[in-house]
Amino acid sequence: MSSLLTVDINCDLGENYGKRSPNQDALIMPYISSCNIACGFHSGDPVTITKTIELAKQHNVLIGAHPSFPDLQGFGRRYMEMSQQEVKAMVLYQIAALKGMVEAQGLKLHHVKPHGALYNTCAINTTYALAIIDAVEEIDASLKIYGLADSLFGQLANSRDISFCHEVFIDRAYEDNLQLRNRRYLDAVLSHDDAIKQLELFVAKRAVRTVSDSIKSLSIDSICIHSDTPDAVEIAKSIYLNLLKSKVEINTNRSGKI
């Protein structure tokens, strides 16, 4: 592996409810440098959000808002037809709630990362992408936006001087157009071994092997792990240790140790 890459490791967390203890989140937290906390529209509630912020604070992990379509039943993975004004209001509402709860614990919100179908839509749809950019600009233009690497979303954010973090997925298969493979396909979510192979290609060549076996270059600022992926804790640990072994620098904003 090359040693020329500096990356963030992020994970979608807080995706449970109420009195359920976020044990999975606690086990993953030592191996990441930023987290994206569900804002209640696809998962999470105020108690869960509070617990997840506390965990992030304990491990010195940067915190992002993880807004989604209002789709609890579908876990935010179903597309919804909405106007630009509706999307902006929906996202602004979720960011504001998370931002307030983060600041109540003496911390600062670092970024915004859309979830699920909203994330995928923003990568290719100008209306939805601009709605989220408008919301971020209105509430705090210093917030970063995390989105699909080399997507339309990033181009639009940069054109508005909003910092965009090019995100790649360790545990997801890629189509030739660098979109994520739809979860309806059995090979959309990678096994542990395949995820580590994907990591090696990310680091060595800043590239990914697509479902047609093509090697495609892509920008890499952050590597995402999904907490609901089988063996997510072991994948997170493997990524962290592989990057350290390869002398890849992991997000300099984080000072916490395992």
> For residues 34 and 251, is the Cβ–Cβ distance under 8 A?
yes
pLDDT confidence of residue 227? 86
pLDDT confidence of residue 13? 96
Mean pLDDT of 90-107: 98
- Lowest model confidence (mean pLDDT) among 19-33, 40-54, 144-158: 19-33
pLDDT digit string, tens, across residues 183-234? 889 999 998 899 999 999 998 899 999 999 999 999 999 999 988 877 889 9
pLDDT confidence of residue 169? 94
Instruction: Write the single-letter amino acid at 156.
Output: L
φ and ψ at 63, to 5 degrees?
-115, 135
Torsion angle defined by CA atoms of residues 91, 107, 47 and 16, in that order, rounded to the nearest 10 degrees: 60
| pTM, 2 dp | 0.92
Q: To the nearest whole number, what is the mean pLDDT of the chain?
A: 91
> Which tokens belong to 99?
């931002």
pLDDT digit string, tens, across residues 126-154? 999 999 999 999 999 999 999 999 999 99
For residue 47, how many C-alpha atoms fall within 13 Å in the half-sphere facing its CB? Answer: 7
Which residues pair with residue 11 across a beta bridge? Answer: 35, 225
Q: What is the set of domains in the chain, with CATH numbers?
A: 6-250 (3.20.20.370)
Nearest Cα residue to 44 out of 8, 97, 92: 97
Q: Which of 13-17, 163-167, 186-190 has the highest mean pLDDT?
A: 163-167
Burial of 180-217, coded b for 16+ CB within 10 Å and e otherwise, reads bbeeeeeebbbeeeebeebbeebbeebbbbbeeeeebe
pLDDT confidence of residue 223? 95
Of residues 2 and 141, more confidently modeled: 141
Helix (H/G/I), strand (E/B), else coil: 44: coil
Neighbours of 32 (CB within 10 A): 29
> Which tokens belong to 34?
């930023």
The Cα 71–Cα 51 span in angstroms is 22
DSSP state of 209: E
Residue 238 has pLDDT above 60, yes or no: yes
Of residues 6 and 117, more confidently modeled: 117
> For residues 42 and 35, is the Cβ–Cβ distance under 8 A?
no
Residue with tokens 């992990």: 61
